[in-house]
Amino acid sequence: MRVLIVEDHHRLAALLAEGLRREGMAVDVAYDGAEALQRIALNPYTVVVLDRDLPRVHGDEVCRVLVAQHNEARILMLTASSTVGERVDGLSLGADDYLPKPFEFAELVARVRALARRAVVALPPVLVGGDVRLDAARRVAFRAGRRLDLSPKEFGVLQCLLEADGRVLSAEELLARVWDEAADPFTTTVKTTVSRLRAKLGPPDLIDTVREGGYRIG
């Protein structure tokens, strides 16, 4: 899951990004509405955590643009106002959910995960491929009943491959969906992570490498 946090308070943005990364998410940060629109044009996001009162381009306008473009990202709008009228206004713009400040971080995580489950293409709560089962909500995966000890990136790669349901995913696509802007696209990060994931899954090998294509779970 790749999340964009759009928040002009740098300290809060950093804290939210750090916390969501600990939850296994790939996180990018934008500090104003114009930067947010630039990042959204370049990257596929599952959820956009959007502060309403932003400089340069207001959060309302960012929301309007995403809705007009039929962007697949779900929008969680943040605001310092907790009035019913403000919440109604935000939702009427096309936001998928609304969270007033201040909020508990655990609630933010729960709302982000709930929005991710409401993706354009609905996915089952438990993903299955062969004898592998992955529960995205509980962040656990098993093979033949054995719980897998996966890092957040290994878990993310396995989740993407299972969601693809046999479709080949390129290294570039996996990098865009599982990693964030800090990842170097010219490294062997994806190849190394897939190799570690294979070792933890154990035999027989579940992940196919498609020459000049990428990876898939057949």
Range of the domain at 78: 2-117
pLDDT score of 144: 93
Last residue of one domain, picked from the residues 88, 117, 146: 117
Tens-digit pLDDT profile for residues 199-214: 999 999 999 999 878 9
Last residue of one domain, picked from the residues 87, 117, 147: 117
| Same-domain status, 113 and 131 | no
| Same-domain status, 20 and 70 | yes
What's the structural domain count of the chain? 2
Mean pLDDT calculated for residue range 56-72: 92
Query: Which CATH number is 190's domain given?
Result: 1.10.10.10
| Same-domain status, 143 and 98 | no
Residue 186 pLDDT class (50, 70, 90 cuts): low
| Same-domain status, 97 and 7 | yes
Q: How far is CA 166 from the centre of its chain?
A: 21
Tens-digit pLDDT profile for residues 128-146: 998 999 998 788 999 999 9
Judge residue 67's burial from the number of C-beta atoms within 10 Å of its C-beta, 0-12 exposed, 13-18 middle, 19 or more buried.
middle
Of residues 72 and 16, the one with the higher pLDDT is 16
CA dist., res. 173 & res. 180, Å (int): 12
Helix axes 152-164, 189-201, angle to 10 degrees: 80
Would the pLDDT of 122 be above 60?
no
Q: What is the pTM of this model?
A: 0.70
pLDDT score of 91: 72
Both tokens of 160, joined, read 């993407």
Last residue of one domain, picked from the residues 117, 141, 170: 117
Rg (CA), the chain: 18
Query: Which CATH number is 80's domain given?
Result: 3.40.50.2300
Tens-digit pLDDT profile for residues 88-117: 676 778 889 989 888 999 999 999 988 987
- Provide DSSP, 25-47: -EEEEESSHHHHHHHHHHS--SE
